[in-house]
Amino acid sequence: MATLDAKIPSGSIAEKWTNHKNSINLVSPANKRQIDVIVVGTGLAGGSAAATLAELGYNVKAFCFQDSPRRAHSIAAQGGINAAKNYQGDGDSTYRLFYDTVKGGDYRSREANVYRLAEVSTNIIDQCVAQGVPFARDYGGLLDNRSFGGVLVSRTFYAKGQTGQQLLLGAYSAMNRQIGRGKIKMYNRHEMLDLVKVDGKARGIITRNLVSGKIERHSAHAVVIASGGYGNLFYL
């Protein structure tokens, strides 16, 4: 039976991604503008990836099938976003967020990736606040938390019942800034049909223009697939 190689780095679970990030080849700032990256999807994953890559200097082509990136399914998320900031002093830690997430994922998640997510969770909140996401605050003006999903700590940052919508507006604004700078070329109403691989590496995609029906090809040095998951099964 064929098994999927997720290419997770080796080492102890808490150090895999940190070590990998410390030893990976870097691209010099002067060379980034010569590299094209395709990002398929403009939800919270794709929208923020596209904005960040463009901010770093790469040339990004972003694709979504909706009429606007702002309509990605991420808009449906409500409860909030978890981060191990331990603002409540209730014993939270990176390890506890990792543990709860693996358990909440029915022990089916890739554990090293969950650990990395728990590690960077605190930075994600800081980035979203800097982008202007209006997370709920307590009467003293500090960021508020609630307990979500049956966990024993309060680590969920939220914006009423509209967290996904507010987060998406933050990512979308950062992305739009880069569209305005010419660093992201946005392809709305384009559906990816196929991935183009050259020597085993993803180098492009085939799309259908949903307005004209035209089949198009797009090339790049790398392709990021951020097309969402089973969430699209929910009817909005």
Ligand X SMILES: Cc1cc2nc3c(=O)[nH]c(=O)nc-3n(C[C@H](O)[C@H](O)[C@H](O)COP(=O)(O)OP(=O)(O)OC[C@H]3O[C@@H](n4cnc5c(N)ncnc54)[C@H](O)[C@@H]3O)c2cc1C
Q: Which residues bind ligand X (CB under 6 A)?
A: 40-46, 63-66, 72-74, 76-81, 163-164, 191-192, 226-228, 231-232, 234
Closer to ligand X by Cβ: residue 33 or 216? 216
Residue pair 174/48 in contact (Cβ under 8 Å)? The answer is yes
CA distance 232 to 207: 19
- On the 0-12 / 13-18 / 19+ scale of CB atoms within 10 A, 72 is buried
The CB-of-164 to ligand X minimum distance in angstroms stands at: 5
Closer to ligand X by Cβ: residue 15 or 85? 85
Phi, psi of 187 (to 5 degrees): -115, 90
Closer to ligand X by Cβ: residue 66 or 176? 66
Residue 51 tokens, joined: 């904005």
Residue pair 37/53 in contact (Cβ under 8 Å)? The answer is yes
The CB-of-102 to ligand X minimum distance in angstroms stands at: 15
The CB-of-81 to ligand X minimum distance in angstroms stands at: 5
Residues in the chain: 236
Taking CB atoms, the residue at the shortest distance from ligand X is 43
Closer to ligand X by Cβ: residue 34 or 123? 123
The CB-of-80 to ligand X minimum distance in angstroms stands at: 5
Residue 128 tokens, joined: 């979203």
Closer to ligand X by Cβ: residue 74 or 178? 74
Q: CA of 16: how far to CAs of 21, 102, 176, in Å?
A: 9, 17, 34
The CB-of-15 to ligand X minimum distance in angstroms stands at: 25
